[in-house]
Amino acid sequence: MASREDMGSWLEGGAADRSGPSSAERLGLPGEGHGSPARVGRRVVALVIDWAVASLVAFLLTNPGSWSDMSSWAPLLVFAVENVLLVSTAGFTVGHRLLGLQVRVLGAPEGTYVGFARGAVRTLLLCLVIPAVVWGNDGRGLHDRAAGTVIVRR
């Protein structure tokens, strides 16, 4: 009788080779703990927090009297400014900070600033949404791949 493992291997095109390096190792990062790649769930929660902060700031800046009068582009603009400024200089946004995450330049020593150019590229693609939801086999979104960055645990 065939087991579930046999069927899974057959459906996937053969037995899985688990002896190769993990995605963290391919990126030159530890597999667990400080400096390891952040999991998708934490990154999504951080994004939701950043969007909520941006929406609140946009609401307060545009028209504190009525939510319906708020410009539809204001939250995106605040979100973009927050991301460019904070990621470029501090290496994290409000959401990243609350969830213990940090944006780092891939291959650079810890503490290296992301810089304005990388922060701007990353933010522009993040605001376009599609690059952020398309991930490579290393778990990074296209926005991080284009900017040469990775989100890690602090």
SS3 label, residue 132: helix
pLDDT tens-digit map of 28-77: 555 566 666 778 889 899 999 999 999 999 888 886 655 555 567 889 99
Q: What separation in angstroms does the CA of 105 have from each of 76, 87, 121, 123, 130?
A: 24, 11, 13, 14, 21
The pTM of the full predicted model, rounded to 2 decimals, is: 0.76
Is 12's pLDDT higher than 60? no
Is 151's pLDDT higher than 90? no
Q: What are phi and psi of 104, to 5 degrees?
A: -125, 155
Q: Which uninterrupted H or E stretch holds 103?
A: strand 101-105
104 beta partners: 150
Give me the residue label for tokens 């991930």: 135
Q: If we measure between CA atoms, which residue out of 123, 128, 113 comes closest to residue 147?
A: 123
